[in-house]
Amino acid sequence: MSQALEELQDRLPSQPVPDLSGTLRRYVAGLAAVVSGSQLRATRQLADEFADGSGAALQAELRKLADGVDNWATHFWLDDMYLKNPIPLPVNSSPFFLLPKQHFHSTTDQLRYASKIILFALDYKKKIDNNTLPPDLIPSRGGKPTPLCMDTYQHFFPAYRRPGEAVDELFMSDQQTDKHAWNVIVACKNQFFSLQVTSESSDEVPSEDTLVDQLRQIVNMTKDKENLQPPVGLLTTENRQTWAKMRNRMLKSNVNSCSLGSIERCLLVMCIDECCGGRVPSYSTIRKDSNTLEITSMASHVLHGSSTGTANRWYDKFLQAVVTRDGVVGFIVEHSASEGITVLRFCEELLQHISSESPLENETNSNNSATNSFRTPSPLTWEIDDEVSCAIQEAGKKMNKLCKDLDLFVHRFTIYGKEFIKSHKISPDAFIQVALQLTYYKVHRKLVSTYESASLRRFHKGRVDNIRAATPEALAWVKVMCGASEVTEEGKVELFRACIKKQTEILLYTVNGEGPDNHLLALREIAKLKNYPNLPFFEDKSYWEFLNFRLSTSQLPTTSGVLVGYGPVVPDGYGCSYNPCSDHIDFCVSSFFSSKETSSDFFAHSLEGSLLNMREICQKMAQIDMEASKQKQCVTAEKE
């Protein structure tokens, strides 16, 4: 590790254990807008009893544990959020990263772009391994940028999520050192191949032309119908416990063990797809915008394969690249190993690298190694019995149903962007979160527990907590905006100010490690580990509602044209990622067609209306502030 980076990472503070009374106060406040008054009173009483009873003992246990682990929150969060969660990975857990569309004139163009991604990944891995990847920094009020924990970058290429019947394992390959040859798994027409990308005990990497030739060999091998292998990749789309049982059954065969081992040890999975051909739902409410439809179709294909490419994936691997014949390019990520913002940086630097390449550089790079230095790609083979074969067919049926059920809609709001918001001295993130609350209330006439991922990487081995947005202040404001009571324009402005102030406060205390979600999770899990009797506080239906995220959101800012999205986390909920740019805001909204409560395109267009309403509020607020300033100047002049 470079000394400067090592010192930077060593100086990262440990994540604090919040005060119990503050967490319980914030917990009750976080429920005030989403449960009834009588239920809230009952919950407040349970919180008081918890604080005076078991809570104090559990808090002491947590403080003791925090002294002995790298990060107490990550210690519990990783299992609860991911590894103990048995839901299938595609749509439900793994986000997509859609890159700007490419224009391929031939299959060779497609394979060349895939080769560029592989070569960039090799270079990126070397930077990570050598600790020469520049650290992520965020601005701070003191002027000096705050460094962020770089730990999960170490997961980019070794990480693999092994399914378990009780809990999954985040496995890290130990065969990605200079002493071993590295491989990439290539998926093509539902077949899997191992592609060697470094020489054993050598720094030599294949040239771009060599990789193109090897990828072409793989494409040709898929035409061999006599050796066609079953679409085993479909098993990775299953419920984790089901997949774990099938995997254990398959491991009884040495052939399967070798193939699975090759995938587990690979750097990444490269999915060479045929044309996207994504199914676009027949929306009844959208304006007929062909660009919106095309982006939605491309995003759907990267996210779940659009039925036609679903078996051409291996969802357990952290990083999967997707390159289609018609120019759709993106990544699908197994989320337990790292956060979206780190993958977004990888995508941005990939695009920058490719755009900066010159034809002369490509020609030079294409002749610096011999093809025969690298093994010919080898197909992975499988020995599948009837039970596993039936499981593959069943997984395919379920995945086809899931693909058809996902209601994904991409929307660009073009009236204004973050510069307009910042001109009114408002945090763009807080502004958009408030807009989402207004939209949800307009559509559903209530507020619900809302999740927004908050980075805790300012702490040593910090991961994520939740910025909550369904506040009493938000509820009071959205009600008057929807005409629940007669309020003057000035009154609406004051309620809006209070709403923004509260949201900004929540954002700040959460990213500083003081949020209630991780804290309560840790106390709950310690109670289980220490065999505490059932605690009424955690069995209260309010606690379930606190964690029932019908609105799951995240901000993923970029200026590189990368679109990020994911599915909803509950059957009757929405997923909503957003990217506030200077003069527009991109949204990717998801829900399920099977829910009678939700509609992604209707929500997205209602959101546009909310943002227009909020522009009027901001303009009125500016007018009020200007008049107040003038009045103050007049008073000052009179005194003089």
As annotated, the active-site residues are 335
CA distance linking residue 103 with residue 290, whole number of Å? 18
pLDDT at residue 306, rounded to an integer: 85
Strand partners, 432: none
- Residues above pLDDT 70, as percent of the chain: 92
pLDDT at 620 over 60: yes
What is the per-residue pLDDT across 169-196, written as a single tens digit (0 to 9) for each?
999 998 777 777 899 999 999 999 999 9
What is the per-residue pLDDT across 385-409, written as a single tens digit (0 to 9) for each?
999 999 999 999 999 999 999 999 9
CA distance linking residue 574 with residue 603, whole number of Å? 9
Band (pLDDT 50/70/90 cuts) for residue 292 is confident
* Coil/strand/helix, residue 598: coil
Task: State the CB neighbour count (10 A cutoff) for residue 79.
Answer: 17
pLDDT at 3 over 60: no
pLDDT at 608 over 90: yes
pLDDT at 367 over 60: no
CA distance linking residue 332 with residue 567, whole number of Å? 12
What is the per-residue pLDDT across 533-569, written as a single tens digit (0 to 9) for each?
889 999 999 999 999 999 999 999 999 999 999 999 9
pLDDT at residue 630, rounded to an integer: 81
CA-based nearest residue to 18, from 69, 70, 58, 68: 58
Strand partners, 191: 188
Band (pLDDT 50/70/90 cuts) for residue 363 is very low
pLDDT at 339 over 90: yes
CA-based nearest residue to 576, from 475, 443, 452, 448: 452
Q: Between residues 2 and 344, which one has the greater pLDDT?
A: 344
Q: How far is CA 326 from CA 111, 113, 308, 365, in A?
A: 12, 12, 14, 26
**What type of residue sits at position 217?**
Q
Band (pLDDT 50/70/90 cuts) for residue 290 is low
Residue whose token pair is 């000052």: 636
pLDDT at residue 628, rounded to an integer: 82
CA-based nearest residue to 319, from 144, 447, 128, 577: 128
Q: What is the mean pLDDT of residues 265-278?
A: 90
* Coil/strand/helix, residue 212: helix
pLDDT at residue 225, rounded to an integer: 86
* Coil/strand/helix, residue 350: helix
What is the per-residue pLDDT across 464-502, written as a single tens digit (0 to 9) for each?
999 999 999 999 999 999 998 889 999 999 999 999 999
Q: What is the mean pLDDT of residues 81-91?
A: 97
pLDDT at 45 over 50: yes
Q: Between residues 42 and 9, which one has the greater pLDDT?
A: 42
pLDDT at residue 2, rounded to an integer: 53
**What type of residue sits at position 79?**
D
Could you tell me if 478 and 447 are in contact, meaning their C-beta atoms sit under 8 angstroms apart?
A: yes
Q: What is the mean pLDDT of residues 210-234?
A: 95
Q: Between residues 6 and 115, which one has the greater pLDDT?
A: 115
Q: What is the mean pLDDT of residues 498-527?
A: 98
pLDDT at 370 over 50: no
Mean pLDDT, the chain, whole residue set: 93
Q: Between residues 125 and 637, which one has the greater pLDDT?
A: 125
pLDDT at 327 over 70: yes
CA distance linking residue 258 with residue 629, whole number of Å? 74
pLDDT at residue 360, rounded to an integer: 47
CA distance linking residue 354 with residue 227, whole number of Å? 36
Count helices and strands in the chain by DSSP H and E runs: 21, 18
Q: What is the mean pLDDT of residues 323-339?
A: 97
CA dihedral in degrees (244, 246, 251, 254; nearest 10)? -150
What is the per-residue pLDDT across 375-385, written as a single tens digit (0 to 9) for each?
899 999 999 99
Q: What is the mean pLDDT of residues 518-531?
A: 97
What does the radius of gyration of the chain's CA atoms come to, in whole angstroms? 26
pLDDT at residue 288, rounded to an integer: 44
What is the per-residue pLDDT across 233-271, written as a single tens digit (0 to 9) for each?
999 999 999 999 999 999 999 999 999 999 999 999 999
CA-based nearest residue to 331, from 98, 559, 567: 98
pLDDT at residue 260, rounded to an integer: 98
What DSSP assignment string belongs to 261-312? HHHHH-S-EEEEES---PPPP--SSS---HHHHHHHHHHHHHHHTTTTSTTS
Task: State the CB neighbour count (10 A cutoff) for residue 418.
Answer: 21
pLDDT at 71 over 80: yes
pLDDT at 4 over 70: no
Band (pLDDT 50/70/90 cuts) for residue 364 is very low
pTM of this structure? 0.94
Q: Between residues 227 and 65, which one has the greater pLDDT?
A: 65
pLDDT at residue 276, rounded to an integer: 81
